[in-house]
Amino acid sequence: GVLTMLMNGWTVVLGGPTPHWRVLGVLVALGLFAWPMVVLCIAVGGRSTLYRPDLMFATVCRTMPGYVTTILLFGVTLGIEAVIQSGGLPWAKSPAAARGAVTPGFSVRQFLLVTGLHVYMDIVRMRLIGLYYYHCKARFAWSWE
């Protein structure tokens, strides 16, 4: 499914199947896991909070159910975005691709749909971070208030 599509994309970027794609996959997974906390720290506490990874780790441990839920919902939004951007849904395909062209032409409709979807999914992801903060801020390892 989507995971296979993403892995195949990485092997193409790396120039073919190499042992390095696994390392890249682990680093991307760690980045996606840390991204909500990093965004939250910058948004609420400024860049100075990034110098305290011990507090970020303690916060993630104290709020594990909420953080894992946030990560899973992030994955859902990224999966939806990946499927639609890959042309996995018929209404998102360009007219040339719908006719079976090997190299589909540019479609303004597809561009607008994908761009609008990306902006909307970013808003959803930011709302997820906000909801995580709203519900779990009492258990954070530091206070911004």
What pLDDT was estimated at residue 124?
94
pTM (predicted TM-score): 0.70
The CA distance from 107 to 93, in Å, is 8
Confidence of residue 125 (pLDDT cuts 50, 70, 90): very high
The CA distance from 82 to 32, in Å, is 15
Q: How does pLDDT run across 46-105, given as a tens digit for each residue? A: 777 788 888 888 989 999 999 999 999 999 998 888 887 776 555 555 555 556 655 556
Query: Under 8 Å CB-to-CB from 93, ≥6 apart: which residues?
Result: 87, 104, 107, 110
Q: What is the DSSP string of 86-131?
A: TT-SGGGS-HHHHTT-SSPPP-HHHHHHHHHHHHHHHHHHHHHHHH
What pLDDT was estimated at residue 65?
94
